[in-house]
Amino acid sequence: EQAMRKMNVSELLTGLATGGKNVKDMAGHAFWKTQPVPSFEELARGKDKIVDGEIKKIDVEKVSKEPSQMYPGFEWVTMDLKDEKQLEEVYDLLSNHYVEDTEAMFRFKYSPSFLNWALKAPGWRKEWHVGVRATASKKLVAFISGIPVELRVRKNTLHCSEINFLCVHKKLRSKRLAPVLIKEITRRCYVENVFQAIYTVGNLLPTPVSTCRYFHRPLNWEKLWEVGFSPLPQGSTKQRQVLKYKLPDKTSTLGLRIMEPKDVDAALELLKRYLERMDMAQVFSKEEFEHWMLPSKEVKEQVVWSYVVEDPQSKKITDFFSFYNLESTVIGNKKHDVVKAAYLFYYATEAAWDQDKAALKARLNKLMKDCLILANNADFDVFNALTLLDNPLFLEEQKFGAGDGSLHYYLYNYRAAPLGGGIDMRNRP
Ligand code: MYA
């Protein structure tokens, strides 16, 4: 009965069953129960009773100026990611020890170019790139990072940090190092007068403000089948599956082209208006928009792809979409080393203001079909998207299939009634 009650709470929270995985009550979370995050129980009492706002007032004077004690044999280090060697160390740690699927078939492989992009967003501070080294060998064994982000949650805009890339070497797992890293990055945020954070985790912890599900659209079905990602449905054949996912070579939207620096103002304006419809969204400055959407010319491998639609008559930018490149290592497969995945990033369309929802749906389907074609032509194997923004309007029609994974969205030191009206937050890892 206890388990049932917990299931109901998480279902209530997320609208999704957790399948009994990772379900513990607050008392079972020795670390999280000490942190300024809402408890499951609080939510179970009724979301109508929740008033959005800060959980704990932080007195910066009382925040320690020094890092907390580290376990014997290990030491804190602030990583300097401008130094290519140190960037490479973070890359090595993550490519061997970062997130895997539950069956350990795939592991995220963030390229150094990707890490540069994700960790050096405008306003980044090196103090928020926190590492742990083994004192004797100086080997990097753990990492956690933050970048600054302006986040609107309903009507309130928060100066947040976005916490990501928490990773502990496999040999040091289950030794309570993660809470030490989390407390240290928290301290480093507090001393900079940042008292809230956003983060996403695949596991259920106390307590998500929203939960999204992963959807996958095969591009190279045969390879996905060979690596064990896509099953062959009963009664189908390989040829039929390949045919099902076949895409044309050419896009069909009139005026669709690669986004250029001259489009930034118009595309940002469009995105800002579009995101106003969401309950939670990043508030982009121009500099941030350029950073996140315009591919850097300096990097070895391209990380982000952005396109606009320029109306041939009016010359107005009517639509915009983007996706990013994140490979996964295929663990122990003879034929393939990596799966090349494109992740849908931000998009916006004038059709969002059409009174008629069907018009939005039709427009998004047209745009996303072209987006899939472009990703396919860029040699991606699979196209991933979450159930956020207006994605549910095109996932099925564009032949996405529901994945096993969910992504929970969390706020630190901020209480908010569960978000139903759409969220923007990009597909963080
Ligand atoms: S999500 C990606 C996380 N990384 C991975 O999954 C990579 C592979 N796994 C690992 O490297 C380790 O398993 C990690 C845990 C490091 C994840 N978020 O040290 P432990 C809690 C939050 O014995 P380990 C991302 O990067 C766990 O519930 N808490 O465990 C966003 C337990 O606490 P409690 C987590 O397995 C990160 C305790 O830690 C996570 O050796 C956002 C166990 O510690 C997790 N992903 O190491 C972090 N995993 O007993 C929060 C486990 O209470 C940021 N735990 O249940 C909060 C905001 C901070 C800034 C605030 C500023 C104002």
What are residue 213's DSSP bridge partners?
406
Q: What is the pLDDT of residue 424?
A: 60
pLDDT at residue 46, rounded to an integer: 77
Helix (H/G/I), strand (E/B), else coil: 369: helix
Asked if residue 205 has its Cβ within 6 Å of ligand 1, the reply is yes
Length of the chain: 429
177 Cβ below 6 A of ligand 1: yes
Q: Which residues pair with 311 in a beta bridge?
A: none
pLDDT for 229-245, tens place per residue? 999 999 999 999 999 99
| pLDDT score of 356 | 86
pLDDT block averages, 10 residues each, the chain of length 429:
36 40 76 96 82 96 96 98 98 97 94 96 98 98 98 96 98 98 98 98 94 96 97 96 98 98 98 94 97 86 96 97 97 96 97 90 98 98 95 97 92 91 52
Answer whether 194 contacts ligand 1 (Cβ < 6 A).
yes
Atom 35 of ligand 1: nearest residue by CA position: 178
CA distance 241 to 244: 5
Q: Is the dihedral of CA 298, 301, 304, 310 positive or negative?
A: positive
Mutate to test the pocket of ligand 1, among 56, 93, 168 (most ligand atoms within 8 A of CB): 168
- Determine the pLDDT at residue 421: 54
Confidence at residue 45, expressed as pLDDT on a 0 to 100 scale: 82
Report the relative pairing of strands 338-349 and 382-386 from DSSP bridges.
parallel
Place of tokens 């978000």: 419
Could you tell me whether strands 317-330 and 106-109 are parallel, antiparallel, or unpaired per DSSP bridges?
antiparallel
Residue with tokens 């969401």: 278
pTM equals 0.94
Which two three-digit tokens encode residue 346? 């931000």
Each as own residue / partner, the long-range contacts of residues 18-22 (CB below 8 Å, 24 or more positions apart, any chain) are 18/204, 18/406, 21/203, 21/204, 22/203, 22/204, 22/205
Ligand 1 mean position, distance from CA 178 (Å):
5
At a CB cut-off of 8 Å and minimum separation 6, what does 392 contact? none
Q: In DSSP terms, which residues pair with 281 in a beta bridge?
A: 152
Spatial distance between the Cα atoms of 267 and 305, rounded to a whole number of angstroms: 14
- Rounded Cα distance between 303 and 41, Å, is 41
Which residue's alpha carbon is at the smallest distance from atom 20 of ligand 1?
176
| Ligand 1 centre distance from Cα of residue 177 (Å) | 9
Q: Alpha-carbon distance 332 to 193, whole Å?
A: 45
SS3 25: coil
How remote is the CA of residue 165 from the centroid of ligand 1, in Å?
Answer: 10
282 lines ligand 1 (CB under 6 A): no
**Cα separations in angstroms, 428 against 250, 344, 372, 376:** 30, 11, 20, 22
The rounded Å distance from CA 142 to ligand 1 centre is 11
